[in-house]
Amino acid sequence: MRNDSKMYQDLDRILVTREEIARKVQELGEKITRDYEGRSPVLICILKGACVFFTDLVRAIDLPLTMDFMAISSYGSATKTTGVVRVLKDLDQPILGQDVIVVEDIVDTGVTLNYLRQILIQRGASSLKIAALLDKPARRKIKDLKVDYVCFDIPDAFVVGYGLDYDQRYRNLPDIGVLSPAIYEKP
């Protein structure tokens, strides 16, 4: 998609370009390949936000990995977290004794990942790491949440694109941009 498409008019600015994303995702894939040498981790995609990042990341990892998918909800359609996390779709396979890498779009307050980490550890994962495309450290509520791999630290702004949505839209933008507040402040 060209970045003069109509959807881009709803952005204040582009924060991370598709080229910057591609480079970082490739680097992260290579790092995970080195860190997990000789192992076959299961990568868990947190739907829907992480789906675009996930499909690029797994193709940058040269390991006999497996994939699973989980859908959780913490946001509704607002731009502020509710702190309530629900599992909408659970994993297909048990993770007992497995090396798990949770792949998430963005760590904001950390409430979602903290909850997920607890339930996945209870299920007996032998190791668990978190890979996030974006991190908004300024808004963290769960101070001791360890995010093992992050592609980009970003400022406290509401962003969309490359999987991230506002009210289920903009996920298909190839770049990541700051959504104009006018879009969500409409009456």
The residues binding ligand IMP (CB under 6 A) are 49, 74-75, 81, 104-112, 158-160, 164
Residue 107 interaction partner, one of Mg ion, ligand IMP, none, beta carbon < 5-8 Å per kind: ligand IMP
Q: From the candidates 56, 99, 108, 175, which is the catalytic residue?
A: 108
Minimum CB distance to Mg ion smaller for 99 or for 166: 166
The least CB distance from residue 124 to Mg ion, in Å, is 26
Residue 135 interaction partner, one of Mg ion, ligand IMP, none, beta carbon < 5-8 Å per kind: none
Minimum CB distance to Mg ion smaller for 40 or for 82: 82
Count of other CB atoms within 10 angstroms of residue 103: 23
The least CB distance from residue 85 to ligand IMP, in Å, is 7
Minimum CB distance to Mg ion smaller for 49 or for 110: 49
Minimum CB distance to ligand IMP smaller for 95 or for 111: 111
Q: Is 108 a catalytic residue?
A: yes
The least CB distance from residue 158 to ligand IMP, in Å, is 4
What's the rounded Cα separation, in Å, for the pair 71 and 130? 16
Residues forming contacts to Mg ion in the complex (CB under 5 A) are 49
What's the rounded Cα separation, in Å, for the pair 166 and 111? 19
Do residues 156 and 139 touch, judged by C-beta distance below 8 A?
A: yes
Active site residues: 108
